[in-house]
Chain A
Amino acid sequence: MSAGAVHSIETKNLNLWYGDFQALRNVNFRVRRGEITALIGPSGCGKTTLLRCFNRINERYGYVRTSGEIKILGQNIYAPDVSLIELRKTVGMVFQRPNPLPISVYENIVFGLRIHSPLFKWRKSVLDDIVEKALRDVFLWDELKDRLHVRATTLQLDQQQKLCIARLLPLKPEIILMDEPCSALDSEATLAVEELMLTLAGRYTVVIVTHNMAQARRVSHECAFMLMGELIEHTRTEDLFLTPKDPRTADYIEGRYG
């Protein structure tokens, strides 16, 4: 995987079908490394589908056919020698509803490590450091340092969502995909998660799907508008919102549909 490239994700003529239904049409999409890119568009336009392509997780959801090419960090992820495990470690995902596993906060964070080296005896001090670092990175350490062994599903929703982000970090991902990460949170918690996203940018490439245009404006560097499985327009966020080139983008931004 080539380092230093400008784009972390590149798709070429990407098409995707669920059975007979074509969900993505000729998508050519490039995501700049270290930036936050927002995907906006009305429901059912293929935003989430596109997001799920990037770590090939949509293959677990049943019949999916794709054509075209996706390159993550310069590597074609449909090449036969690609390891899905490595791919999913490199490209982590955060969901609409926080989904911590019903185990302790601590175990949630080290879960990935344990999965990937089941025979390796992790030293407790090493794991402790990993947990502390991950929680500090998502600003949860001060709140949770005395509650590392409570069940993660008993936390507040915004804490759960941050924990879901923290859970990815020990695997040293390059890209973090977020599928409407704030739609289950109240406005205050949303702001906190947005702030967190801004601090993650730079170290990680972030792609976020959102229904909330104000949010896309607040957090993203680039923004892409999708409609009926097509990528209509993709440019710097301020340009997309101030001077959209495509009339369909303009209509959507002005709230004529969606």
Chain B
Amino acid sequence: MTLLLVAPLVLIVGYIFYQALPILSLDFIFTNPKDGMRSGGIWSPLLGTCYLVLLSLAISTPIGVLAAVFLNEYAKDNWFTRMVNLAVVNLAGVPSIVHALFGLGAFVLFAGLGKSILAASLTLAIMTLPVIIASTKQALAAVPMAFREACWNVGATRWQTIRHVVLPNSINGILTGLILEVAHAAGETAPIMFTGAVFYKAIQEGDLFAYGPFDQCMALSMHLFTISTQVPGVPHALPFGTAIVLLGTVLMVNALSIIVRTRLRARKKW
């Protein structure tokens, strides 16, 4: 059974890795695409994706987590909260291309941010927000009521209860939701296509701060789309190499948050 579950993952990753093997090297990561994207590396799109994911998460995490805390811990059950909950569930099901058009209208044109990393990150943040709210709410709801009661009855305020009991006991679930959204944000092409990502842009190789918030950028997901469908004569291994780096980036973020998670757990004297 386990094999059945693991086999597709191993097959997919293994196949991509095998196809990408001839091109993989440190140079591939640290050089910009060259020759009309037919050779060279993926430095520019890789850095662009990192910027987009981190910035969008920096926007959506605090808003999403606080919204979930409000909905689960403070809000009374009335028509307003029911509307908000309904909106959250429905927004989670909106196709990403619709988010893209909303981002184009709201951030690029109306707010006047132009096509930029900031506008694209805001669009991604809007896209990930409902899922973050929903998953955080679920994690909070899983904390037994008895813990809250215990806390209230020694005179703790609602916020103290949340800070000392509810959040520490739901942080695993919250982080799991965030990880999923990292992968989601990194992989989406449509929302960034209209709002901040470009086909080609060369940046200073090896410079981590090569993009500014109002620059346009390349992104791995869009680069993968471009070189596999829009540019003729791309060497076979190039798209696979791009795919494996995209996968690796997401896996690295996941690994990082697992480390954070175990650290958090180890700090408690359970």
Contact = CB atoms under 8 A, between A and B. Distances in A.
Contact of A97 (B77, B146, B152, B153): B146
Interface stretch (A68-76, A131-139, A163-171): A163-171
Interface stretch (B157-165, B185-193, B228-236, B248-256): B157-165
A99 B149 contact: yes
A85 B144 CA distance: 22
Interface stretch (A29-37, A111-119, A189-197, A204-212): A111-119
A101 B165 CA distance: 8
The contact size tier of chain B is 20 to 34
A95 interface: yes
Interface string B203-215: 0000000000000
The contact size tier of chain A is 20 to 34
Contact of A62 (B76, B146, B268): B76
Contact of A93 (B147, B153, B269): B153
Interface in B127-181: 144, 146-158, 160, 164-165, 169
B70 to A, nearest CB: 15
B269 A84 contact: no
Contacts of A89: 154-155
A22 interface: no
B54 to A, nearest CB: 32
A124 interface: no
Residue of B147, B148, B152 most packed against chain A (CB within 10 A): B152
B184 to A, nearest CB: 31
A85 B155 contact: yes
A55 B77 CA distance: 23
A60 B156 CA distance: 12
A171 B154 contact: yes
B268 to A, nearest CB: 7
A103 B165 CA distance: 10
Interface string B235-270: 000000000000000000000000000000000111
Contact of B150 (A55, A100, A116, A151): A100
A233 to B, nearest CB: 29
A60 B165 CA distance: 16
Given A62-B76, A85-B155, A93-B153, A102 B169 contact: yes
A62 B73 CA distance: 11
Interface string A80-113: 0000111111001101010111111001000110
Contacts of A62: 76-77
Contacts of A97: 146
Contact of A95 (B146, B154, B156, B160): B146
Contacts of B157: 85
B154 A92 contact: yes
B269 A116 contact: no
Given A62-B76, A107-B269, A101 B155 contact: no
Contacts of A6: none
A92 B153 contact: yes
Contacts of B144: 99
B88 to A, nearest CB: 21
A149 interface: yes
Contacts of A120: none
Given A84-B155, A88-B153, A101 B147 contact: yes
A197 B211 CA distance: 68
Contact of B269 (A95, A103, A167): A103
Given A63-B76, A86-B155, A103 B270 contact: yes
Contacts of A116: 155
Contact of A167 (B76, B154, B165, B169): B154
A154 to B, nearest CB: 9
A164 B150 contact: yes
Contacts of B148: 60
Contacts of A112: 154-156
A121 to B, nearest CB: 17
Nearest to B153: A93
A57 interface: yes
B269 A99 contact: no
A42 to B, nearest CB: 24
A167 B153 CA distance: 10
Given A62-B77, A63-B76, A164-B150, A115 B269 contact: no
16 contacts: A60-B152, A85-B155, A95-B146, A95-B149, A99-B149, A99-B150, A101-B150, A103-B270, A104-B269, A104-B270, A107-B269, A111-B164, A115-B151, A115-B164, A151-B270, A168-B154
Which A-B residue pairs are the 10 nearest by beta carbons? A99-B146, A112-B154, A88-B155, A93-B153, A85-B155, A99-B150, A89-B155, A151-B270, A115-B156, A104-B269
